[in-house]
Every structure is written in structure tokens, then in C-alpha cells.
Structure 1
Amino acid sequence: MADLFADTLKTASEILSPHGPATAGAAHSYAPGDFSIHFFLQLAVILLACRVVGWLGKKLLAQPQVVGEMIAGVILGPSLLGFLFPDFQLALFPKETKNVLYVGAQLGVGLYMFMVGTSFQAGHFKAKARSAMSVSFAGIAAPFIIAAIITPFLLKVPGLFAPSISQANATLFMGACIALTAFPMLARIINERGLAKTSLGTLSLTAGAFDDAVSWCVLALVLATFGGGPGLAILAIGGGLTYVVFMVVFGKRVLAPLGRMVERDGEMSMTVLALTLMAFCLSAFLMDAVGIHAIFGGFLLGVFMPRGLFVEELKKKVEPIAVVLLLPMFFTYSGLNTRMDMVNSVELLLIALGVLACSILAKWGACYAAARLTGENHATAMGIGALMNSRGLMELIIINIGLQKGIIGPTLFSMLVLMAIVTTVMASPLFEVVYGKKARASGELGAVPDGAGA
């Protein structure tokens, strides 16, 4: 017990120490000005690509902007731009600058999840929690069953998982990836399609929220137990739980003065904005430092932020920069790590297609079956399954963490990026085919608002 305590204390004391391994030395080095030159050019190209591909996706495929940005990230990486113009792509995104892009990507996705947290509505859980539990349970149980079946085969393929990973951790990680639902995108689709006050919309939101919560808890468990020794596991689990308990007990009370200041002034002052962003940075730091991930800290803080005028003002000041400027860096960083050329054999292609098929079956199929068993008609159950099958940004976040922490290799990462994009692109058009068009024709739903999917 004393040794375990000493190991945990040692791990905690080294939070600000280098965590290596060190990057291999290069024949040349970059001066600070070189990083600056590359960064601003990279950001300009990223914004252009995301806007153009997002616009094309909206006009041609009626897809949300975020779907186009996911695809743009892959286009800018080695899978397309690097394949067609390798020298140009390498000059634009040299490996030495990836760490700078990584930090910007983490800030973007962390702020995005912070804003998602501020939109979290407990009412969705209460309204249809009982009826949604069966759909949620099916959307969790089936993916983990499928993961338990396919993971032993995946572990036999070199390069998909880390050599040192246990079968249990690999299974849990794959289960979390398959079980995940793109909750922010799900909420966006439901609002855009006029489903917010319908039984289908409420049920889907509730089930999706439960599924995401379980997936993130499983990921936190894998991160805490994978390759870090008992000290790291105790620090991650203990630190994470302590912070959650603190926020549940004291979070709203500590943060309430920020809301009162905004209500008093009728707007958010620069001081309140600075305090809010400082709280976000500290929350993200704490979760990163204990060994989980910054996005947990951002989302958790957002859940307990004051509501009302505070959130309205915060969204006006922070959301445009987070979504338009910073978040595209995350998609591009994901794209730079996506190597579709690594799926370069019939065996690997079949594995990629198998993972995609299993993911769709485990999520859409299981949620459809559960909805039917709870009394929903065929069209409604199909619509629920189509919405729950979308992975979106949340999938990219979880697999980026897996790649960063060394749980999976670049080949499996690329396969899961493909799965995330395909299941996300499927969601809106598939929903309209199986439910939306008939419901609008019968008058059950209104017309799709102009700009839906933007």
C-alpha cells in the first residue's frame, strides 16, 4: 500500500515534466518565425478547404457544414492531397509543425465541447428516460458484444493495436468507438428537421446522451489502465472522480456569480469572459494533467455553467471563433493522421468494410429492434436507428485520443475515420428516406427549414 501511494505521488509530481519519447532529430531545425509562417498559411488553407467542401456538401448532398469539414480534413492529408501532390503537401504541413497544429486542434475541440456542455439539457433525460432506456441499452450492449467478437481477430493483424495492449482494453476501446453517437450533431439534426418536440426526437436525444456518457466513461477507464502503471491509473480515476464530485456538489454555486454579473450588466463584460475562459483552461488542464483528456474538463465545466443570458452572451462571443476558426484545425490534424493508403491489401480493405458493417449493424440494427420492441412503429424505429448510427465529431475525438495515447495504430485509425465519415454522411439522407418524407407528407412534421444542414 505504501509503495502504491508513493508511485501515485511520484506520478502526480511529474505532471509538468516531459512525457517523451523525444522527437527524432532532423537535419535542419525550425526557428520560431518558421513555425509562424507555416501556421498562418496552414490556417488559411484549412479555412478555405473547410468552407468550400462544406458548401459543396450542403448544396450537393444536403449535409451539415461539419460533415464537409470532416471530409476536408482527410482531403488535406496524405490520403488525397499528399497522394496527388506529395511535395506540396509536405511543404505545407511539415511534420515539425504538427505539434503546433495539435495544440490549436485541442483548443478548438475543447472549446467546442465546452459549448456543447452549456447546451446540455437535463430535461431530455427526464422526459423520456424510461422509454429510452431500452434503445440506449441496445445501443450500448450490441456494440460491446460485436467488439468482443471482432477484437480477437483484429488483434491478430499487426499494426492495428499497440503490441502491449490487453484483449480486455482493446475490446473496451472498440466497443466505445462503435457505441458512440454524435450527440451534438444528433441534437443539430433534430432541431433542423423539426423533431425537437416529437417523441422520436426526445427519445433519440435521451438514448444518444446515455450512450455517449457510457462510451466516455469506458474510454476514461481504458486511458487510466493502459500502459501507465498503477500510479497513473489511480491518479486518472481518482482525480477524475474527485473533480466530477466537486463539480456536482460545488460547481453551480462557485460559477453562479458569473451569471449574476451578466444578468446585472445586461451583457458579458470582458472581465467575465476572461474569468470564464480561465476556468475553461484550468478545467481542461486538470483533466489533461491527471491523464484523462482536456475535452472532459471542457464539457464538464460547460454543464455546470450558469444558464440564461450568460450562455447567450458566451455563445455570441466564443462559439463563432471556436467553430469557424479553431475546430477546423482538429479536422485537419485528424486528416494528417489518416492514411488510407495503409489499407493497401485485400485483407485490410475487407477488415475496414467489416468494421463499418459491424458498426452499422450494432447501432442502427440494435436501436431499431429495441424501438420496435418498446412499441414504436416501423418508420419511427427506422428513423431512430438512422439518427443513432451517426458518429461524427465525437468519433474523431475518441479515435484521436486512442492514436495519441498509443492504443491504436495509424491503420486502424484510418479505418475508424472512414467509419465515422460514412455513418455521419448516412444520417440525414437516410433519416429522410425512412421517416422524414412520409412524416412531412402526412403533416406530422413541417417542411425542412431553409438552410437546414448548414
Structure 2
Amino acid sequence: MTRELVEDFARAIGDALGAHGPAVEAARSYTPGDYSIHFFLQIAVILLVCRITGWAAKKWFGQPQVVGEMIAGVLLGPSLLGLFFPDFQAVLFPKETRNILYVVAQFGVGLYMFIVGTTLRLDHFQSKARSAAGVSAAGIIVPFLFAFAITPYLLTISGLFLPGIGPVSATLFMGACIALTAFPMLARIINERGLANTSLGTLSLTAGAFDDAVSWCVLAIVLATFGGGPGVALLAIFGGGAYVAFMLLAGRRLFMLLGRAVEAKGELTHTLFAVVLILYALSAFVMDTAGIHAVFGGFLLGVCMPRGLFAEEIRRKIEPMTVVLLLPMFFTYSGLNTRLDMVNDWKLLAVALGILAVSIAAKFGACWLAARLAGENNRTALGIGALMNARGLMELIISNIGLQKGIIGPTLFAMMVLMAIATTVMAGPLFELVYGRKARERGELASLGGSTTG
């Protein structure tokens, strides 16, 4: 009965949108009006599902709102909605409209990382430089060593990597996937747990940013072996590095003028707000063009922006719309590309669980040990390992690139998605177990649910 009601509802929506199923969607010619109709309906559904799922995640499982939203994106994709109600899912999210959703999603996640960058305490990083360097190095080197160990076996399983992929390229790709930290996810968990202004939060964010930047550079090298040419890798490493150096050395001084203007006016005027958005768009453009990712352009700009009233005004104007509207669209777009039903036998399930175990050992274990060797106490080191272990949507992004560029097949892609979801879902409870609960009892952290980002 439920299925029949949903199918009737799908037909009704299809009538309103001028479509009745995948075949019709593929055949029809879209006009600008068609795109806007779909887009508004998608926004309504995405916000509804994300709010409900996020509330359930917090209420019943003690997960941050962001984890519920990530799961909501998968639920709206082919793994659940498309599996049981394919006509309804096809009408709601036709392929022709996904490019629009992609652009808005990238704009939103980059803007959120800009906000996060304005909260980064560089004085904490400077005081923890040794720990951050050790955690970053361990979070890169150990995952690549594990990838070197497991990739030869993965290459023997048909369908995981596509034909023509050599062991070096496959190993580099797997190493980049395992070394990733869910940078946007990590940032939001840190904000929701009240860690944004703590040394642990700053250390984790900085190490995660560096690890992800290295992973993207490695991915650029892999892509260069598939027809992109050496220019792709050189642009990512040297072009991106030069831009980071410019922003940190010269950009921070130039942006002080914006801070003084806001202090003089007592507020962020519309003109100054427009200037900030222009700078954000340009920074995201530069990093995207360099082959790294737009989110790092947003984060780097936020890091270089003045603190005080300027940063407070930026967060007040940008954060609500970004968190409530734009980030859920990012999660949904990623979920639309996820097919969990591809892992469909015991052997593949065992491989997926093996990749999960290796990923946890390589990231959580290595970062915990590095923090301990750098002098952090065991509780803090375990907290850093728990946070760094989350992969989230950054994993989905890099896995999507591998799928689109012909490096991996749909089955390995599904395994990487399972790893991303599992490591992200476990991040919050594991962090609470090893660090958060005791820190909160001592008054070192804000209480759960006290964040404005939920």
C-alpha cells in the first residue's frame, strides 16, 4: 500500500513537472523554467529530510546534526529512495538538473569552510607546531604504507580497478583515499562539540587541512598519468603552494584594511560584505583551477581574514544560510552518486570490511601515536585520532573523481562510500568516549547541542 501511494504521488508530481519516469526524463528537452521548478522542489525535500534525519541522529544516537545530514543525502539517492521508488526519485532528481545542484553544493561547502577558517586560532597552532607536524606526517605516511600493502591484492579482484590501471597509480589513489580526513565534516563536528577555539580543535583542523591538501596533490599526480599531462600535477603542487604562500605572507596584511573599515563603521556594510564574497569566489576559483579543491580556497581566505568584530560580523551574516540551506545540498548531491547495493556478496563484503579496518588503523592509530610521541597526553591524543579518522564527504568527492576518470569501478566506489560513512558515524561517539565526556565534566568544553550550527 505504501509503495502504491508513493508511486501515485510520483505520477502526480510527474504530471506537474511534465514528466512520468526515467525514459521521459531522458527524452524531454529542458527549459530554464523546468530547471527552476525542479530546483525549488528539491530544496524543499532536501531541507525536510535533512532536518528530520539530523534531529533523529541527535535525539536517538547522540550524533551531530551534520552526520544526520550526510546520511540523509545517501537516503535520497539510489541506495534507498531510488532502490525502492525509482520513478519518484527520477522525477525528483532528474539527471539534467544535477549540474545546478552540484554548483550550489560546491559554493555552499566552500563558504562553510570560509566561516571555519575565521575561527582558526593561529596562536594555538604555533604553540602546537610540533604536535601538528607530527600528526600531519603520520596521517600521510602511514596510510600510504598501508595502501602499498593492500593494493596488490585489490588489483587481483575483478571490477575494483578498471583495466589499464597500473600498481603505482592504484597504490597512490588508495593512499590518497585512506589519508583523507573529512575536512568540512571535521570542521563542523569541531564547531558543534565546542572545540573551535581549543588547541585540540585547531591542531586537528590544521593537520586535517594539510593531509587533505597532500592527498589532492597525489590525486593530481595520478590524474596526470591518465592523459592530463605533467602540467596537472605541477599546477596543483607549485601553483597551489604559491597561492598559499602569497595569502599567508601578503594577503593577511592586505585584509587588515577590511578589519579596520569594519571597526570604524561598527558593522560589516553591504559594500564590504560584497567585497568579502568577491574575495571568497576568487579564492575558491584559484584553488579549483590549481586542481586542489575550492573548499581549501574558502578555508585559506578565512584563515587570513582579520579577527575581532570583522570575523563576528562575517559569521553572523553568512553562517545561518550556509549551515541550514547550502550544506544539506552538498550532502544530497554526493548521496545521489552513491550506490551501496554494489557490495552484493560475502567476498566483496569481506574486502569492504578489510578496507575499513585498514583505514581506521592507518589514520586513527597513526595520528594517536604521533600525538603521543609529540608530548600530548593520552586523552588528547585519542581525541585527535578520533577526529582525524572521519572521512565523510571528502572521501566521496575523491572517490567520485576516481570513478569519473576511469580509475576505479562502481564496486570499489561503493566500498569507499561504506568506509566514509562508517568512519564518520563512529567519530562522534568515539571522541566522546575517549575525550569529550571527561572534558565536559571538567568544564573544558561546551555542552552538546549548544552550537549554533545544528
TM-score range (shorter-chain normalised) is: 0.7 to 0.9
- Residue 448 of structure 1 aligns with which residue? 447
Distance 1:102 1:184, change over 3 A: closer
Quote the Cα distance in structure 2 between the aligned partners of 1:386 and 1:102. Answer: 30
> Does the 8 Å CA contact 1:179/1:211 hold for their aligned counterparts?
no
Gaps of at least 5 residues in structure 2 are 1-24
Distance 1:250 1:161, change over 3 A: farther
Counterpart mapping for 1:230-269 below 5 A: 230-269=230-269
| Residue 35 (structure 1) aligned with residue 32 (structure 2) | no
Give the drift of 1:150: 1.6
- Residue 298 of structure 1 aligns with which residue? 298
Of 197, 209, 217 in structure 1, the residue corresponding to residue 214 of structure 2 is 217
Distance 1:282 1:445, change over 3 A: closer
Quote the Cα distance in structure 1 between the aligned partners of 2:190 and 2:283. Answer: 30
> Does the 8 Å CA contact 2:148/2:171 hold for their aligned counterparts?
yes
> Does the 8 Å CA contact 2:213/2:292 hold for their aligned counterparts?
no
- Residue 411 of structure 2 aligns with which residue? 411
| Residue 95 (structure 1) aligned with residue 92 (structure 2) | no
Quote the Cα distance in structure 1 between the aligned partners of 2:33 and 2:273. Answer: 30
- Which deviates more from structure 2 when the two are superposed, residues 159-168 or residues 352-361? 159-168
Quote the Cα distance in structure 2 between the aligned partners of 1:131 and 1:418. Answer: 30
- Residue 349 of structure 1 aligns with which residue? 349
Residues 315-363 of structure 1 show CA distances to partners (whole Å, capped at 9, x for unaligned) of 1111222221111111111101000111223232222111111111112
Distance 1:253 1:383, change over 3 A: closer
> Does the 8 Å CA contact 2:136/2:211 hold for their aligned counterparts?
no
- Residue 4 of structure 1 aligns with which residue? none
Distance 1:390 1:40, change over 3 A: same
- Residue 311 of structure 1 aligns with which residue? 311
> Does the 8 Å CA contact 1:259/1:306 hold for their aligned counterparts?
yes
Give the drift of 1:440: 5.8
Quote the Cα distance in structure 2 between the aligned partners of 1:373 and 1:244. Answer: 29
Quote the Cα distance in structure 1 between the aligned partners of 2:446 and 2:125. Answer: 27
Quote the Cα distance in structure 1 between the aligned partners of 2:62 and 2:94. Answer: 34
Give the drift of 1:44: 0.8
Give the drift of 1:54: 0.2
Distance 1:233 1:382, change over 3 A: closer
Quote the Cα distance in structure 1 between the aligned partners of 2:220 and 2:74. Answer: 26
Q: Letter of the 1:120 partner, please give it.
A: L
- Residue 19 of structure 1 aligns with which residue? none
Residues 154-185 of structure 1 show CA distances to partners (whole Å, capped at 9, x for unaligned) of 33444434545443343233223222334555
Quote the Cα distance in structure 2 between the aligned partners of 1:320 and 1:122. Answer: 25
Normalised by the length of structure 2, the TM-score is: 0.84
> Does the 8 Å CA contact 1:179/1:212 hold for their aligned counterparts?
no
Counterpart mapping for 1:116-127 below 5 A: 116-127=116-127
Q: Letter of the 1:214 partner, please give it.
A: D
Q: State the secondary structure of the residue aligned to 1:306.
A: coil
Q: State the secondary structure of the residue aligned to 2:29.
A: coil
Q: Letter of the 2:333 partner, please give it.
A: Y
Give the drift of 1:195: 6.1
Residues matched between the structures, number: 426
- Which deviates more from structure 2 when the two are superposed, residues 331-340 or residues 280-289? 280-289
> Does the 8 Å CA contact 1:338/1:410 hold for their aligned counterparts?
no
- Residue 285 of structure 1 aligns with which residue? 285
- Which deviates more from structure 2 when the two are superposed, residues 80-89 or residues 142-151? 142-151
Quote the Cα distance in structure 1 between the aligned partners of 2:434 and 2:245. Answer: 42
Counterpart mapping for 1:286-435 below 5 A: 286-373=286-373, 379=379, 381-435=381-435
Distance 1:410 1:110, change over 3 A: farther
Give the drift of 1:222: 2.3
Give the drift of 1:186: 4.4
Distance 1:88 1:402, change over 3 A: same
Distance 1:304 1:162, change over 3 A: farther
- Residue 10 of structure 2 aligns with which residue? none
Give the drift of 1:381: 4.4
Q: Letter of the 1:68 partner, please give it.
A: G
Gaps of at least 5 residues in structure 1 are 1-24
Distance 1:306 1:375, change over 3 A: closer
Quote the Cα distance in structure 2 between the aligned partners of 1:339 and 1:312. Answer: 40
Give the drift of 1:105: 1.2
> Does the 8 Å CA contact 1:118/1:303 hold for their aligned counterparts?
yes
- Residue 276 of structure 2 aligns with which residue? 276
Distance 1:355 1:204, change over 3 A: farther
| Residue 139 (structure 1) aligned with residue 136 (structure 2) | no
> Does the 8 Å CA contact 2:183/2:212 hold for their aligned counterparts?
no
Quote the Cα distance in structure 2 between the aligned partners of 1:308 and 1:375. Answer: 31
> Does the 8 Å CA contact 1:268/1:314 hold for their aligned counterparts?
yes
Counterpart mapping for 1:195-206 below 5 A: 202-203=199-200, 205-206=202-203
Give the drift of 1:427: 1.9
